Structure 1
């Protein structure tokens, strides 16, 4: 099955978290098989079939709010993106039955929920978004104190695979102290002046800086697991997975 539900300890019972893998699906190589991205060059009909199957695997009546992601910091109400994708990198909702969704193939998906279960959000966080404040934007949109928010970090390019140039480290040095920056950026053994970056650790620091302490992670590297995950860094031309979060409707809530 391409859709996997994550049961998170301590999270609200009415909030459900999902991620997809590349298993099964209708897309052909190099997008094989459960590609959900319409913007990557895949056959549109195959992608729409995959999206239809995804919706059928979600709780009955769920509507998916897709985004046109641009590595920015803009956060929108998910309902505004139900009929046509809105340009943004995060969405939030207090409505039951609407799934906030982000697509990834190395960038970090971050799913957020108020501890009360009353509002949720999904965030697409590549290094640019993390450095520019996309997580802060999304947490602010929830309208809840950060200490009352919990976060889940999905499949992402791992710290041993994400080589970056000095400009990326410099972008984070604008708000990180040197010790934390050194912990998140290890010198690359392959290219002088380059670093191996840890997006999971950077996200935890960014969230912690605004007072959000409850962070759980899938701890799965997209690059090192080609049978399950798409990876842009590994393959170049490839598909996209999705991470989704939704609030159960009252009739299906536990």
Structure 2
């Protein structure tokens, strides 16, 4: 992330934090209201998020549905269905929640536009990254991307029909799949790189963590099931 402009701020929250409020499987810094955690504890965590990381404003949360919808966070006053958001104003915090899916942080090299996408396997193949970049109205070569923590390939088994969907869209996805013991495994990081590079984005960092394996650091739906909490991934424009 060291090649992001100095005014661009990125944050991926940890699973555990000093002062986190959630209990049990949600311990302790769950930031999602929709997973069965106590609302009062989640709201306390969101308040802690705002204070601990000195955010310029409350994050613009979205109701994620594994779509390709991208919305303008600068003009959003209520929670809407979307899987990506963008901003061209200083102080607007774009955010997504994940527990294995891939957060894709994007900004332009001038530091005047930012966005983030929630890229699960469905959203990724359906075009959520393309939708976000189209919203930013920038050429790919003028953009910088960072791939936040997600599930790694050998922990992410998928069906053959998933591979078929990817290959029907772009044959370059072929190398994003491994085949071991009669099972397919998808590399979300590599799939995102295929999409980004196809759009002209070559400045790409990240992609070396595993939400499934790093249980002390990350929530994981594949590992923990229905009672998994969610991490927040935020991007905004601040002062240089």
With the shorter chain as reference, the TM-score category is over 0.9
Normalised by the size of structure 2, how large is the TM-score?
0.95
- How many residues were matched structurally? 237
- In the alignment, what sits opposite 2:11? 18
Q: Secondary structure at the match of 1:62?
A: coil
**Distance between the aligned counterparts of 2:143 and 2:228, measured in 1?**
33
RMSD: 1.2
**Distance between the aligned counterparts of 2:50 and 2:146, measured in 1?**
21
1:98 to 84, 92, 96: 92
Gaps of 5+ in 1: 1-7
Q: CA deviation at 1:79?
A: 2.6
Normalised by the size of structure 1, how large is the TM-score?
0.90
1:200-219 Cα offsets, whole Å, 9 max, x none, are: 00000011111111110151
**Distance between the aligned counterparts of 1:130 and 1:71, measured in 2?**
9
Matched, 1:239 2:229: yes
Gaps of 5+ in 2: none
Equivalence map 1:176-195=2 (5 Å) = 176-177=170-171, 180-189=172-181, 192=182, 194-195=183-184
- In the alignment, what sits opposite 2:35? 40
**Distance between the aligned counterparts of 1:31 and 1:188, measured in 2?**
32
Q: CA deviation at 1:60?
A: 5.2
Matched, 1:217 2:206: yes
Runs of 4+ in 1 over 2 A off after TM superposition: 57-63
Asked if 2 retains the 8 angstrom alpha-carbon contact of 1:163 and 1:188, the reply is no
**Distance between the aligned counterparts of 1:79 and 1:11, measured in 2?**
21
**Distance between the aligned counterparts of 1:46 and 1:80, measured in 2?**
28
- In the alignment, what sits opposite 1:5? none
- Bigger share in helix: 2
